[in-house]
């Protein structure tokens, strides 16, 4: 590679030093023998590549951010990671910390021009972003720096990086201005990875941080810095492995099966933040990591959605040794992706949570524990790490900008206290369902590494930090849902233009026309009427409004329901046949349910061509098709439900008319063979009216020959079915009439 020398005086910002061209050449020639390039050759370990972008720095030339390549890219390209280093002695070199676990480093070479010699890391700076390398042999032509803390100012930084694939050196003046932060002591802005010289080229000190103390204590030889040897690091690693073994535990969450019904066509039901992406939302068992936060409590790192939590049945915590310990659900964190659980039996080994501000720990040597759970196996990988950059996030909290890309790394200080953990901030409900906010759902914006100090606040007042709407519920309550009481027609660009709401609906992508308002519903009580255009909902306690987004649902809007061809359909087609009416449960009501009943809502809409608003409260809907009591007859192969308000409206059934609706037909069953089809109404059995599923269960169990009065829309017919008596009772077998019985 060609070596490029860049002297950046930045006269507009720094008036302290001015060096003419001749002086620049002399200065560089004096410094050049003490500057080397350190090459880290990387490789896979146990089938894994290093993750993240560990080497990201402020460019010493342009001030921007460079070097944000993934570490895996160096392996794929078969090229080393190159960092600038400085010769401290005939066999010692100072270099920036590559922030790559040692298990991925295949070798280290220190180069000066074409000459190179093998090296290895022997120590880590405690408070600077630096490592100390030991050379296998002296590097010919390299000249150790001699540091003199008494040299007077002005001073110059000498740093470098790869820029446009060229090894680039930058020389900049040390600015005399001071930066003052409300989190940190005053400091002098510094080039991150640089040695510091006077104008004659004599070494004064080195930075390896981005702010120097104003008292001049930064001056002197780097070999005098506090450091941790690789031997001491090994002891720290062994101690931390034991702490992790006792304090980071496998937790098994067990769930009941989802209630029957095909809600997938209705809902955008994302499971919020499982530790491992791809976890099936209908899985009966889920293994996650749990943090033992005290002897009786575990924080499970699983941000379950309301529906998933609603089906939670049991929690088992597996200690480092011994039998699993049952735990009781305490609450789902409202703002973080975690579940608090109380242990039936106390456990030893709780982790100590640090209350330190992450800003005060920048550049410090820390320890990372990458912990994973795969099935019933738990594994740990311990390695040194550092926090280089922070960015503000939710409610002004600070998040490490680099570590957050790894969703399984816990950060500890050298005392073994937990400093940061992979605890995601929950995405606002509005963003999860809004296609216009899709970029917000990228993993990189999930803020996966949260300061342990934030968790301490939660544990001090758990009741004030859990979501009362996100709790386990009885199966009969699983389909409880909020509602507005409207049927919505989706907008499109043509309709948006016709109604002059193009500019309010993202060109017709959001917003919906009210086609029907249920009497006495929240919408009716708020004064919403047919023809109004709902735009968005401003919900109490939610910073982001809910955009109203409607879509067509099967036979109700995506095409005419195939009433006339039901008899020709095979059993598989019947099993997946969508209901003919618009569902009460949709994306909007699901979002409102997740937020919680009782919250105040201001609805933004257009009514009679004028912008308007209406006030309401998130209210639970009356029983609807998905939540209605059901009965499954095993002998008949039919499932029926009570008639609910939306079914009666769509099928034009009077409120006092008897009947139950066929909710499902088992393939090749007696009911299927007899010609009974989904969404037909059974009004009578053997001449007796059937007003609900309890009456259906009682009448269907009487005798072995049953005559059903079946109604499809306005056409009625009689269907006879012979059933075998249950030997124990003389009645047809079935599954009880409890709501949503499996």
* Interval 307-314 mean pLDDT: 94
560 falls within a domain: no
Point out the domain boundary residue: 185, 204, 225.
Answer: 225
pLDDT attached to residue 6: 43
Residue 403 has pLDDT above 70, yes or no: no
577 falls within a domain: no
pLDDT attached to residue 612: 97
400 shares a domain with 354: yes
670 shares a domain with 604: no
Q: What is the CATH number of the domain that holds 278?
A: 2.40.10.120
* Interval 225-253 mean pLDDT: 97
Measured over all CA atoms, what is the biggest interatomic distance in the chain, rounded to whole angstroms?
111
Using 50, 70 and 90 to split pLDDT, how confident is the model at 446? low
51 falls within a domain: yes
Q: What is the DSSP string of 110-166?
A: EEETTEEEEEEEEEEESSSSEEEEEESSPPTT-----B-TTPPSPEEEEEEEEETTE
670 shares a domain with 616: no
592 shares a domain with 443: no
737 falls within a domain: no
Residue 300 has pLDDT above 80, yes or no: yes
574 falls within a domain: no
Beta strands of 589-714 (E only): which ranges?
600-607, 610-617, 619-620, 630-633, 638-642, 660-665, 681-685, 688-689, 705-712
**Mean pLDDT score of the chain, rounded to an integer?**
86
Cβ-based neighbour number of residue 320 at 10 Å = 17
240 shares a domain with 170: no
671 falls within a domain: yes
739 falls within a domain: no
643 shares a domain with 613: no
pLDDT in tens, 357-394: 999 999 999 999 999 898 889 999 999 999 988 888 88
Cβ contact 605:612 at 8 Å: yes
Using 50, 70 and 90 to split pLDDT, how confident is the model at 71? confident
742 falls within a domain: no
pLDDT in tens, 18-57: 667 677 778 889 999 999 999 999 999 888 888 766 555 5
240 shares a domain with 173: no
Using 50, 70 and 90 to split pLDDT, how confident is the model at 107? very high
Residue 270 has pLDDT above 80, yes or no: no
448 shares a domain with 329: yes
pLDDT attached to residue 621: 96
How is residue 341 written in tokens? 């659980």
539 shares a domain with 451: no
Give the residue numbers spanning the domain of 60: 3-225
The predicted model scores a pTM of 0.84
Q: Among 1-10, 92-101, 169-178, which is the least confidently predicted range?
A: 1-10
**How far is 522 from 188, CA to CA, in rounded Å?**
61
Q: What is the CATH number of the domain that holds 601?
A: 2.30.42.10
Q: What is the CATH number of the domain that holds 159?
A: 2.40.10.10
Per the structure, how many domains does the chain have?
4
- Residue count of the chain: 742
Point out the domain boundary residue: 178, 194, 225.
Answer: 225
175 shares a domain with 65: yes
Point out the domain boundary residue: 602, 620, 638.
Answer: 620
Using 50, 70 and 90 to split pLDDT, how confident is the model at 67? low
246 shares a domain with 194: no
pLDDT attached to residue 264: 41
458 shares a domain with 485: no
């Amino acid at each position: 590679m060609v070596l490029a020398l860049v002297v950046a005086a930045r006269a507009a910002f720094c008036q302290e030093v001015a060096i003419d061209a001749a002086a620049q050449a002399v200065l560089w020639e004096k410094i050049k023998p003490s500057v080397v390039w350190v090459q880290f050759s990387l490789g896979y370990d146990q089938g894994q590549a290093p993750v993240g972008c560990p080497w990201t720095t402020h460019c010493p030339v342009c001030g921007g951010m460079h070097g944000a390549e993934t570490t895996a890219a160096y392996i794929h390209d078969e090229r080393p990671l190159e960092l600038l280093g400085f010769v401290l002695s005939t066999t010692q070199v100072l270099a920036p910390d590559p922030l790559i676990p040692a298990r991925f480093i295949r070798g280290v070479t220190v180069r000066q021009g074409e000459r190179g010699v093998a090296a290895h890391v022997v120590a880590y700076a405690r408070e600077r972003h630096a490592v100390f390398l030991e050379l296998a042999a002296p590097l010919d032509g390299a000249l150790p720096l001699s540091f003199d803390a008494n040299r007077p100012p002005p001073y110059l930084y000498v740093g470098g990086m790869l820029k446009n694939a060229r090894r680039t050196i930058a020389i900049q003046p040390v600015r005399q201005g001071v930066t003052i932060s409300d989190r940190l002591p005053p400091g002098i802005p510094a080039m991150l990875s640089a040695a510091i010289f006077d104008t004659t080229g004599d070494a004064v000190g080195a930075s390896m941080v981005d702010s120097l103390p104003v008292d001049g204590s930064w001056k002197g030889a780097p070999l005098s810095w506090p450091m941790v040897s690789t031997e001491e690091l090994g002891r720290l690693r062994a101690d931390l492995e034991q702490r992790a073994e006792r304090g980071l535990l496998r937790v098994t969450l067990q769930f009941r099966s989802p209630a029957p019904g095909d809600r997938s066509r209705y809902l955008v039901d994302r499971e919020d933040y499982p530790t491992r992406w791809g976890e099936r939302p209908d899985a009966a068992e889920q293994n996650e990591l749990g943090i033992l936060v005290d002897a009786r409590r575990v924080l499970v790192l699983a941000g379950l959605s309301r529906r998933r939590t609603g089906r939670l049945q049991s929690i088992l915590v597996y200690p480092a040794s011994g039998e699993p310990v049952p735990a009781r659900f305490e609450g789902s964190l409202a703002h973080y992706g975690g579940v608090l659980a109380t242990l039936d039996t106390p456990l030893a080994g709780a982790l100590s949570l640090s209350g330190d501000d992450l800003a005060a720990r920048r550049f410090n040597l820390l320890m990372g524990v990458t912990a994973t759970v795969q099935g019933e196996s738990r594994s740990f990988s311990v390695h040194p790490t550092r926090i280089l950059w922070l960015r503000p996030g939710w409610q002004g909290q600070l998040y490490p900008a680099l570590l957050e890309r790894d969703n399984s790394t816990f950060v500890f200080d050298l005392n073994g206290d937990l400093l940061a953990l992979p605890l995601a901030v929950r995405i606002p409900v509005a963003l999860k369902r809004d296609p216009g906010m899709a970029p917000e759902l990228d993993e990189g914006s999930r803020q996966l590494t949260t300061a342990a100090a934030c968790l301490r606040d939660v544990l001090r007042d758990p009741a004030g930090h859990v979501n009362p709407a996100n709790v386990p519920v009885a199966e009969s309550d699983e389909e409880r849902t909020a509602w507005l009481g409207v049927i919505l027609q989706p907008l499109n660009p043509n309709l948006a233009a016709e109604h002059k709401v193009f500019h309010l609906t993202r060109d017709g992508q959001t917003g919906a026309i009210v086609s029907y308002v249920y009497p006495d519903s929240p919408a009716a009580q708020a004064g919403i009427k047919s023809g109004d255009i709902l735009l968005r909902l401003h919900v109490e306690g939610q910073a982001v409004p809910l955009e109203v987004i409607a879509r067509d649902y099967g036979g109700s809007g995506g095409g005419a329901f195939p009433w006339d061809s039901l008899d020709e359909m095979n059993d598989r087609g019947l099993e997946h046949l969508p209901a003919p009416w618009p569902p009460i449960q949709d994306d909007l009501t699901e979002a409102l349910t997740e937020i919680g009943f009782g919250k105040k809502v201001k609805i933004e809409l257009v009514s009679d061509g004028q912008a308007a608003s209406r006030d309401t409260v998130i209210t639970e809907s009356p029983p609807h098709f998905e939540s209605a009591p059901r009965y499954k007859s095993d002998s008949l192969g039919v499932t029926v439900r009570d008639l609910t308000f939306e079914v009666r409206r769509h099928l034009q059934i009077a409120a006092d008319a008897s009947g139950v609706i066929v909710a499902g037909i088992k393939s090749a069953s007696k009911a299927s063979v007899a010609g009974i089809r989904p969404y037909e109404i059974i009004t009578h059995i053997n001449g007796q009216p059937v007003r609900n599923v309890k009456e259906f269960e009682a009448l269907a169990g009487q005798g072995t020959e049953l005559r059903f009065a079946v109604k499809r829309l306005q056409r009625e017919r009689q269907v006879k079915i012979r059933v075998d008596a249950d030997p124990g009772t003389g009645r047809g077998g079935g599954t009880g009439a409890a709501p949503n019985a499996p």
